[in-house]
């Protein structure tokens, strides 16, 4: 592991708290109606956080932006499953995680998170890494939105290495995939984990690039789509497709499993779930319809920039 400088946990925490503030302020402005309600909480085993939730807004049906900083004497199973050498170490984990579910079916759901883990043991070098990313889940896709989303991600990462965007994009495509449905959750974006290969300062800069580019990637899309006219058909399809979002978060999502296994606050962990959702048995879209285009055109691993 690179050891250019020792990890600065306070610098990471300060950045994350500021990021939460900035994202909430801009999304409130874009919504133009509701405001985030803050819920500060403490974790009995160590640490705590502040959850912010906006509901029934003009543009946002439910949005959650959560900061957490938790620590403990033992790494949870979700963290040691792919890093068994970390078993028995104490840990600290901090991050910002958010999900925005708009009212309008033509406005996509978005998810983002950035996080930092450090595992320590007396007499040994600390083991640390960054992770995070963001992804977009449309219901009625738009090519321009997809290109903007991915172009913003690429432009954010290119100064840190021209290999990062294609690497993180493929990782996102592979990670946000519902194996039991044999389909991706959305049109992808960025995903990375266990990232420390550039040393602390440069790896931290990569994490900041991801966190800082979320609003430029998502807010213009929400602004363009939030007032599009729609009817009952589009709303029902949105609720049906939200079911896929719930399935992924409860079955596969590593962050959800980590939070639950570390005794985290359940309300904050599950704030990512949409307020309304439906499952229809063996429903199939009409051939050639806008609903069919979602799986046939948009939910495909592809190069959106080219």
Q: Helix (H, G, I), strand (E, B), or coil: what is residue 136?
A: strand
pLDDT given for residue 1 in this prediction: 44
Q: Which residues are catalytic?
A: 111
**Whole-angstrom Cα distance, residue 221 to residue 59?**
12
pLDDT given for residue 4 in this prediction: 66
CATH of domain 9-298: 3.40.1500.10
According to the annotation, is 114 in a ligand binding site? yes
According to the annotation, is 111 in a ligand binding site? yes
pLDDT given for residue 2 in this prediction: 46
Residues with Cβ within 8 Å of 12's Cβ and at least 6 positions away in sequence, in order, are 94, 116, 204
According to the annotation, is 302 in a ligand binding site? no
Alpha helix (H) ranges present in 37-181?
77-80, 143-157, 164-175
> Burial letters for 82-99: b for 16+ Cβ neighbours within 10 Å, e otherwise?
eeeebeebbbbbbbbbbb
Domains of the chain by residue range: 9-298
According to the annotation, is 78 in a ligand binding site? no
According to the annotation, is 180 in a ligand binding site? yes
Supply the DSSP string of 34-77, one letter for each residue: --PEEEEEE-TTSEEEEEEEEES-SSEEEEEEEEEEEEESS--H
How much is the CA Rg of the chain, to the nearest whole Å?
19
**Whole-angstrom Cα distance, residue 256 to residue 155?**
29
According to the annotation, is 101 in a ligand binding site? yes
Q: pLDDT of the chain along its 306 residues, tens only?
A: 444 678 999 999 999 999 999 999 999 999 999 999 999 998 888 899 999 999 999 999 999 999 999 988 877 676 667 777 777 788 999 999 999 999 999 999 999 999 999 998 888 888 999 999 999 999 999 999 999 999 999 999 999 999 999 999 999 999 999 999 999 999 999 999 999 999 999 999 999 999 999 999 999 999 999 999 999 999 999 999 999 999 999 999 888 887 787 777 888 888 889 999 999 999 999 999 999 999 999 999 899 998
Smallest CA-to-CA distance from 118 within 166, 85, 150, 86 is with 86
According to the annotation, is 133 in a ligand binding site? no
Residues 292 and 141: beta-carbon distance below 8 Å = no
pLDDT given for residue 153 in this prediction: 98
According to the annotation, is 265 in a ligand binding site? yes
| C-alpha dihedral, 225 to 226 to 227 to 228, nearest 10° | 40
Q: Are strands 189-195 and 127-137 parallel, antiparallel or unpaired?
A: antiparallel
pLDDT given for residue 237 in this prediction: 98
**Whole-angstrom Cα distance, residue 185 to residue 188?**
8
Q: Tell me, what DSSP letter sits at residue 218? A: H
According to the annotation, is 115 in a ligand binding site? yes
Residues 59 and 104: beta-carbon distance below 8 Å = yes
The structure tokens listed for 59 are 């543009």
Phi, psi for 193 (deg, rounded to 5):
-155, 165
pTM (predicted TM-score): 0.93
């Amino acid at each position: 592991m690179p050891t250019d400088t020792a990890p600065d946990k306070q610098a990471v925490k300060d950045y994350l708290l500021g990021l939460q503030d900035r994202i909430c302020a801009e999304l409130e402005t874009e919504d133009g109606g509701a405001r985030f309600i803050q819920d500060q909480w403490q974790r009995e085993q160590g640490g705590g956080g502040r959850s912010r939730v906006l509901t029934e807004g003009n543009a946002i049906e439910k949005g959650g932006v959560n900061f957490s900083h938790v620590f403990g004497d033992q790494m949870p199973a979700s963290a040691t499953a792919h890093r068994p050498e970390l078993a028995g170490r104490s840990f600290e984990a901090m991050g910002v995680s958010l999900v925005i579910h708009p009212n309008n079916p033509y406005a996509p759901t978005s998810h983002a998170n950035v996080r930092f883990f450090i595992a320590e043991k007396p007499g040994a070098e600390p083991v640390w890494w960054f992770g995070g990313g963001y992804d977009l889940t449309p219901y009625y896709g738009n090519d321009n939105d997809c290109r903007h989303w991915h172009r913003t991600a690429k432009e954010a990462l290119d100064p840190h290495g021209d290999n990062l965007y294609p690497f993180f994009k493929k990782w996102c495509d592979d990670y946000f995939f519902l194996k039991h449905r044999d389909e991706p959750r959305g049109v992808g974006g960025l995903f990375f984990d266990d990232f420390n290969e550039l040393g602390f300062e440069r790896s931290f800069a990569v994490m900041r690039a991801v966190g800082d580019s979320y609003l430029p990637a998502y807010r213009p899309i929400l602004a363009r789509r939030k007032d599009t006219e729609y009817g009952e058909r589009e709303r029902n399809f949105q609720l049906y497709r939200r079911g896929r979002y719930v399935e992924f978060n409860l079955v596969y999502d590593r962050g959800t499993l980590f939070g639950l296994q570390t005794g985290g606050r359940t309300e904050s962990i599950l704030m990512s779930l949409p307020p309304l959702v439906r499952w229809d048995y063996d429903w199939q879209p009409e051939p050639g319809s806008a609903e069919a285009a979602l799986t046939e055109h948009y939910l495909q691993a592809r190069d959106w920039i080219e």
